[in-house]
Structure 1
Amino acid sequence: MLTCKEQVARSSDYLDGQLNFREKLMVRHHLMFCPNCRRFIRQMRLMQATLKAMPHEPVEDVDALAERLAEQRRKDKPL
């Protein structure tokens, strides 16, 4: 089984779909038993989604952008 340190090192490749079948199984096996790494992966997915949603041009009103992203997040994933 992977250690948490090994899991974190593979996280970006896992989320980008760049692991081979064996590596992907090792990551998934670790995630089944490690709540901290599951939380880390969820945070990484949220970060990726947030970065994709950000505009490419500089934004004048950063507070409005932050509120819009938070509102979109609430709509996408209700608590």
Structure 2
Amino acid sequence: MLKCRDLVNQADLLIDGAELRPGRRLALRAHLLICRHCRRYLRQLDALTDHLHQPPPPLNERDTRAVLERLEPRGR
């Protein structure tokens, strides 16, 4: 039986849909059936990777100026 740490170490492979040996994939899926903590971890990891693949919203001119002002050295 797999331990939670085994699932965590290979969760990215599951999220990415990587090719796993059938026995390994079955063992990971079986662990997910019995472990709610790992199911939650995998859902959170999936949501995070979805979010990271989205482009950031564009900055408007006011926000851009505010960022640039914060980057200016003090005392100018």
Pairwise CA distance, 1:60: 2.9
Q: Distance in 1 between matches of 2:21 and 2:40?
A: 23
Matched, 1:41 2:42: yes
Q: Distance in 2 between matches of 1:41 and 1:60?
A: 32
Q: Distance in 2 between matches of 1:53 and 1:9?
A: 24
Number of the residue aligned with 2:8: 8
Scaled by the length of structure 1, what TM-score is found? 0.66
Determine which structure has more spread, i.e. the larger CA radius of gyration.
Answer: 2
Pairwise CA distance, 1:20: 2.1
Unaligned regions of 5+ residues in structure 1, if any?
62-79
Matched, 1:52 2:56: no
Q: Which has the higher relative contact order, 1 or 2, with Cα contacts under 8 A spaced 6 or more apart?
A: 2
Scaled by the length of structure 2, what TM-score is found? 0.68
Aligned sequence identity (%): 34
Q: Moved runs in structure 1, 4+ residues, more than 6 A?
A: none
Aligned residues: 59
Please identify, of 1-10 and 16-25, the stretch whose mean Cα deviation from structure 2 is larger: 16-25
Unaligned regions of 5+ residues in structure 2, if any?
61-76
